[in-house]
């Protein structure tokens, strides 16, 4: 092999190695977690505002559920991709994002399933 081919091959191998080892970092940054969570919250508030027709509120709720699924799919995929046997772990930001997303989604789920009126008159 010529010397230039060896240098090119070495450069390609080094670049490939860098991409492979940092690929999860690139994938994490490409998903706009903050923006999706904000869109999800807006759709939830819109669906529960009481200012829309039933059809419009239904569309807002469908949009909210679509965004929830997208958030959870992304989060679950990233969590499943972490290979702890190699020493890989989630970053502190990813862990905090996981808790924030789960907390907000649980809060929305609880609000979505509240009884219409609290009943404290337990008759026997």
Residue pointed to by tokens 């999860």: 24
Q: Using CA atoms, how far apart are residues 23 and 19, in angstroms rounded to an integer?
A: 5
**Given a cut of 90, is residue 66 above it in pLDDT?**
yes
Helix-strand-coil split of the chain, %, nearest 5: 75, 0, 25
Q: Using a pLDDT cut of 70, give the percent of the chain over it.
A: 71
pTM exceeds 0.75, yes or no: no
Element (H, E) at 71: helix 54-81
């Amino acid at each position: 092999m010529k010397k230039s081919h060896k240098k090119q091959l070495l450069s390609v191998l080094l670049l490939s190695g860098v991409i492979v080892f940092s690929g999860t970092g690139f994938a994490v940054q490409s998903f706009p977690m903050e923006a999706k969570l904000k869109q999800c919250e807006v759709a939830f508030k819109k669906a529960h505002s009481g200012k829309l027709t039933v059809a419009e509120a239904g569309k807002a709720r469908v949009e909210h559920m679509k965004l929830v699924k997208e958030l959870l799919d992304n989060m679950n995929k990233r969590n499943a991709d972490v290979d702890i046997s190699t020493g890989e772990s989630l970053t502190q930001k990813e862990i905090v994002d996981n808790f924030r997303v789960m907390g907000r989604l649980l809060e929305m789920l609880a609000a979505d399933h509240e009884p219409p009126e609290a009943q404290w008159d337990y008759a026997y």
